[in-house]
Amino acid sequence: MSTEVQYLTSEKRAELEKELNFLKTERRKEIAEHLEYSKKLGDLSENAEYHQAREEQAVAEDRISRLENLLKNALMIGEGGKDSITIGSTFRLQKDGDNKTYIYTIVGSEEADMTHGKISNISPLGSVLLGHKKGDKVKVVTPKGTVEYTVVIIK
């Protein structure tokens, strides 16, 4: 298990709790039925159905354990700061030499999703932005080189 602190929004927490409930109730039952059926097929040492069901069980139990640990230890985040960028902050950045602006929200790594503008607090961009204020310029080292952004606004 990861020892880094995980941050969750209330929406993500609810989503993970729903997944955990599904895994502990419905998915466990499905796997148990699959195991019971596959045992009836004969010799377990050469029974592909049985081995597949056991693998599904291991994956499900691993996910259950991971979710329980995450939900137990995660810190909840609310709306981020308005004066400086914190976890939970939504802000607009402008890339130097580009007229386009980008809107991002800093979230925990569990719910990071660039397609929805959610960047992880431990990503190169997210970690550099923490603590910066409106008007600050930040440099981010990327695989393609260093990129400079200006914080346009913090919502």
Phi and psi based region of residue 83 (left: phi greater than 0; alpha: psi -120 to 50; beta: remaining): alpha
Q: Which residue has the higher pLDDT, 6 or 20?
A: 20
| Interval 59-92: pLDDT, tens | 999 999 999 999 999 998 877 767 899 999 999 9
pTM: 0.75
Q: Tell me what the pLDDT averaged over the chain comes to.
A: 90
Region 121-140 average pLDDT: 94
Confidence of residue 2 (pLDDT cuts 50, 70, 90): low
Lowest mean pLDDT among 43-47, 53-57, 65-69, 94-98: 43-47
The answer on pLDDT for 104 being more than 70 is: yes
Q: How big is the CA angle at 154 (ends 146 and 122), to the nearest 5 degrees? A: 50
Residue 81's pLDDT is: 67
Q: Which tokens sit at 154?
A: 């913090």
Confidence of residue 1 (pLDDT cuts 50, 70, 90): very low
Residue 46's pLDDT is: 77
The answer on pLDDT for 139 being more than 80 is: yes
What does the alpha-carbon distance between residue 68 and residue 124 come to, in Å, rounded to a whole number?
28
Q: What domains can be seen in the chain, in order of their start residue?
A: 7-76 (1.10.287.180), 90-154 (3.10.50.30)
